[in-house]
Structure formats: C-alpha cells, structure tokens
Amino acid sequence: MTHIDQEALVASLRGLQMTVPATGIVHQLERAVEVVDTLFGYSGAGLMFAGEDGELRYLVATDDAGRSLEGAQLRVRRGPCVSTYENDAAVTSFDVRTDPRWPELAERLHPGVRAVAGVPVRLGGEPVGTLNVYQSTPYQWDDSDIRAMQAYAAVIEQILTAAMAAEEKSALADQLQYALDYRVVIERAIGYLMGKHDLTAAQAFTGLRKKARDSRRRVADLAAEVLADGAGEPG
C-alpha cells in the first residue's frame, strides 16, 4: 500500500508533460550520476550496465581514472564491479590495488583508483548493472556509505522503471546498448574538443550534448561528425 494520491499525481504529471521537453534515458542517467557524484563527494562515480554480450561496461563515468576500472575488469573478467553484478550484492574494497581477491587488477588500474565500492542496480528485481564509486586513497567503507549507495541505486532503478512505463523494454535496452556501443566515438570527440577549445571533459560533453539536443540529433552522430570534420582540417 502506498500513501500517494493517484489522481493528484496524474494531474501534476499532465501539467509537467505539457512544459518539459522529453530527454532520453541515457541523458537522464548521466544527470543522475552527476548528482550522485556531487552528493557522495568521493573521487569519482560511474554507472555500468551489462551489454548484450553480458560484459559490464560504463554507461556513465565521471572521469578517466574511474573508467580504468572497466578496462581492467574486462581484461581479467573479475573485480569488485563484476562481483557486485554477479553476486547481486554490495562489494567493497579498502584498497583494490592490494586486495588479495583481485591481484591481477593492480597493474591495469589507474594509480588514482584505490578504494572501490559497488552496489547492484536492479530492474524488476534482477541486476542489470552496478553503481560504483572510488576513492583515490585507501578507505574503509562503512554501513552508512553502502546504505546511501543502495538508496541512490534505488532511485536509478525508479528512473529506469519510469522510462519503461509505456516504452517497450526492448526499445529501452536498444537505447542503453547504443550508448554502450557508441561511447568510444563520443569519448574521442570529447578529447578532440578539449584539445581544440581548451575545455574540461565535462564542458566538452555538455556542449556536445546541448548541440545534439538543439539540432535533434543523437550525441554519437554529432560526435562522429565532429571527428570527421577534425580529420579534414589542415594539420
């Protein structure tokens, strides 16, 4: 039983529907991770999803150091985020570089990644990905850290659930898969724009996303165009 007035909620959602432009699920998840990252105040945060091949990959990561978690775990097929997903349970590491559970990870990780924590992101009770945070120094995660992460993962689950409310599950999965597939192109375009215009990664991505939305194109398509234009410029 909920304590929600369905009629008042629907009347309010109708009002919201009239004024707010639609954004895709990937954009919403990016915003959610940005908010969560600010709230945590840790060194970085990210959201991984399992692709069609079952491999965990970053959909959103706040920085390059955090992204090294993905590459390292993809290579050795083990690690804190993989364990979080496979066991459908929170996993923490005081210092992943010296953690005896994953000795092969240390040399593959960015030196700035030390303490790692992950919680599962579920949809319909099943794990579909992980919410991860890391610290650049060893850190003893406590119960309150994990409870907060689980609460944020629960909100992310509700964003996914709401996105699925009238949309086919396959269409949602397609959007997520597209983001996973084209992320490399987007990241290369971000790197190009950072170098060309002296921007931070966040500024480059925000600019790219805004331009894509304004011109009703997908970020990946615009990113490919930026790279193609860049390749045609005189060196």
Q: How far apart are CA 157 and CA 218, in angstroms?
A: 24
173 binds other proteins (CB under 8 A): no
Please name the amino acid found at residue 86.
E
Q: Please, which residue, 5 or 64, has the CB nearer to other proteins?
A: 5
Q: Which of 117, 163, 186, 219 binds other proteins (CB under 8 A)?
A: 163
Q: Which of 75, 147, 196, 217 binds other proteins (CB under 8 A)?
A: 147
Q: Which secondary-structure segment (H or E) carries 65?
A: helix 64-76
Q: Please, which residue, 16 or 231, has the CB nearer to other proteins?
A: 16
Structure token digits, residue 175: 């959007």
89 binds other proteins (CB under 8 A): no
Q: What is the 3-state secondary structure (H, E, C) of 12-54?
A: HHHHHHHHCCCCCHHHHHHHHHHHHHHHHCCCEEEEEEECCCC
For other proteins, how many residues bind (rule: CB under 8 A)? 47
11 binds other proteins (CB under 8 A): yes
28 binds other proteins (CB under 8 A): yes
210 binds other proteins (CB under 8 A): no
Q: Which of 159, 185, 194, 199 binds other proteins (CB under 8 A)?
A: 159
Residue given tokens 């985020």 in the structure block: 81
DSSP state of 98: T
Beta strands 115-123 and 56-61, pairing class: unpaired
32 binds other proteins (CB under 8 A): yes
**Least Cβ distance, residue 17 to other proteins (angstroms):** 4
Q: Is 112 helix (H, G, I), strand (E, B) or coil?
A: coil
Q: How far apart are CA 90 and CA 130, in angstroms?
A: 9
Binding site for other proteins (CB under 8 A): 2-6, 8-23, 25, 28, 31-32, 35-36, 38-39, 124, 147-148, 150-152, 154-155, 157-159, 161-167
